[in-house]
Amino acid sequence: MPDDTDDIASDIIAKWSAHFSKLDADALAALYSQGAFFFGSNPTLYRGRDGVKAYFNGLPRWAAPRVQFSEVRTGRVNPDLVNMAGIASFFLDSDAPSLAVKITWVIVREDGGWKIACHHVSSQTPLI
């Protein structure tokens, strides 16, 4: 079986980035599993597609948000499960510096496609 984990993650990253640039909460939520766990930029744990949609609908309406992923690493756990880790740099306002965070996704095969089952971001600044 060929290892296509990079392609799986790249496909979701491309869709996620395009939907984020429009702050399209419905389209972003559709990329997630029905039972997804989502830790974004605030301390609340959001659950499921409705939770993901609520998170994105609650964000400020920036004029031209965009995200760039770097240092992406993937690994196959089993035929239906892929781990992804990387850095997501968010560019939210033209004069503000980017906000870079560590990001991890657990990607699962669900309903014939690949969905994000767990989304977690954290600071790049060491806590200890």
pTM for this model (two decimals): 0.93
CA distance 80 to 106: 10
The pLDDT score that the predictor gives to residue 87 is 97
Binning pLDDT at 50, 70 and 90, where does residue 98 land? confident
22-36 pLDDT tens trace = 999 999 999 999 999
The pLDDT score that the predictor gives to residue 1 is 43
CA distance 2 to 126: 36
